[in-house]
Amino acid sequence: MKIEQYKLLEKSLLKDFINSLIPIANVYAPVSKGFNNYVFQNIKSADEVSIKYIPTIIPPKKFFLPKKENILQFFIEDELKVEPVTEYENLIIFGVHTCDIAGIKCLNMVLSDKPKDTAYLIRKKHVTIIGIECNDYCDEYASCSFVGAHMPTTGYDLMFTELSEYFIVHIHSSKGMDIIEKTDIFKDASIAQLEELKILRNNKMKIFNNEIPTERRYLPDLFDRSFNANVWKELEQKCLSCGNCTAVCPTCYCFDIKEEVDLTLKAGERYRVWFSCQLDPFAKVAGGHDFRKERSARQRHRFYRKFRYHIDRYGMVFCTGCGRCSRTCMAKINLKEVLTSLIRESEAKIWRKWL
């Protein structure tokens, strides 16, 4: 902890700080929609913002991978003209939790892998991320400690942590520094506040306990043993294939490509839209063959995409523990419970072998 990387903000000045961002760029922050639902929304005043919130309906991935994104314009007058399109805006996302920052890090990993997603990488450069640290669990669905996303590490420009009297702000990039320097409401941090921050983080270790009865490093083994587990068969009955779990997942990035012409029928655009492995047409190919016809196979695929395949390819777990999939599931398919059942079933199998 280098003291010059930290600044202090009086708690009463937080709204002033948010308001100071609004002239700089489009500011998006968590806004309450009622019924304990929140959305990252464009704000015009700090009064709209919910500082304390549970994860939003859709994570901030929507700013990096828009739900609908034009990628090509074409004109079919005498000859075909095609132009690639990259859409981006300068924006600041305020109030991002560490789980969602972990999600963006996962997306960065995949989309900067070959073939690089240029539009994504351009857009990313124009986004400033201001985080807010969670000092306690948002609710019972979170499993951020299991995946190690409950502590701020990297992936943000500024990180706000609430101490007893101040917000302590970690400056993690020059973009973050520029924002701090635009106002004069920040004070220098002193050793005392850094100490308080250390104590707070130590305390968090007690509050945030591993939510799953195993450790991350055992995941590959667990999943290698579980491809034919009964747990998946039970999901066949439950899952409605509504695709909510993947839509709200910070690390799901699958998309479909479509085209639409305008009413002249002579010009149009090619765009991509979010798509989901949970939906019927996803794995359907020519001739009507479907690689994952059963809902159980689709759910299994989702879990392997979070906890197995990406460990091999990127050395990362692709779950951020945000709990959105469980919170949103109509059929109450709960990620923590599914993992726990998998562990139980796998343990029972191992014991049977021994006895």
Partner 1 sequence: MSKPKVAFFDFACCEGCQLQVANIGEPLIDLLDIVQVVEFREVMSEKWDGEFDVSFIEGSITDEHAVERIKKIRERSKILVALGSCATIGGVNGMKNSFPLEEVGKYVYGESYKFFPTLQTKAVHQVVPVDYFINGCPIYQPEFITVLKCILQGIPYYVPEYPVCVECKLNENVCMYDRGLTCMGPVTKAGCNSWCINNGNICYGCRGLTINPNTEGFKEVLKKYNIPEDFLIKKIEMYNKCKELD
**Which residues here bind partner 1, judged by CB under 8 A?**
33-37, 39, 56-58, 67, 237-244, 247-248, 260-261, 263-265, 274, 276, 279-281, 295, 328, 330-332
Query: How does DSSP classify residue 35?
Result: T
> Other C-beta atoms within 10 Å of 221: how many?
11
Please enumerate in sequence order all residues whose Cβ is within 8 A of that of 149, keeping only pairs 6 or more positions apart, or say none: 98, 99, 101, 102, 320, 321, 322
Rounded to the nearest whole angstrom, what is the least distance from the CB of residue 10 to partner 1 in the complex? 33
Burial of 83 (0-12, 13-18, 19+ CB in 10 A): exposed
Rounded to the nearest whole angstrom, what is the least distance from the CB of residue 232 to partner 1 in the complex? 15
Dihedral angle, C-alpha 153, 29, 274, 338, nearest 10 °: 60
Q: Which is nearer to partner 1, 44 or 332 (CB)?
A: 332
**CB hemisphere CA count around 121 (13 angstroms):** 10
| Rounded Cα gap, residues 85 and 82, in angstroms | 10
**Beta strands 127-132; 158-162: pairing state:** parallel
Q: Which is nearer to partner 1, 181 or 280 (CB)?
A: 280
Q: Which is nearer to partner 1, 278 or 346 (CB)?
A: 278
Q: Are residues 299 and 333 in contact, defined by beta-carbon separation less than 8 angstroms?
A: yes
Q: Which is nearer to partner 1, 76 or 109 (CB)?
A: 76
Rounded to the nearest whole angstrom, what is the least distance from the CB of residue 37 to partner 1 in the complex? 4
Q: Are residues 159 and 131 in contact, defined by beta-carbon separation less than 8 angstroms?
A: yes
Give exposure, 306-344, as e/b (b: 16+ Cβ within 10 Å). Answer: bbbebbeeeeebbbbbbbbbbbbbeeebbbbebbbbbbe
Question: Hey, what amino acid is at 130?
Answer: I
Q: Which is nearer to partner 1, 193 or 326 (CB)?
A: 326
Rounded to the nearest whole angstrom, what is the least distance from the CB of residue 97 to partner 1 in the complex? 17
Question: DSSP 3-state assignment of 77?
Answer: coil
Rounded to the nearest whole angstrom, what is the least distance from the CB of residue 263 to partner 1 in the complex? 4
Rounded to the nearest whole angstrom, what is the least distance from the CB of residue 53 to partner 1 in the complex? 14
Rounded to the nearest whole angstrom, what is the least distance from the CB of residue 284 to partner 1 in the complex? 8
Q: Which is nearer to partner 1, 194 or 267 (CB)?
A: 267
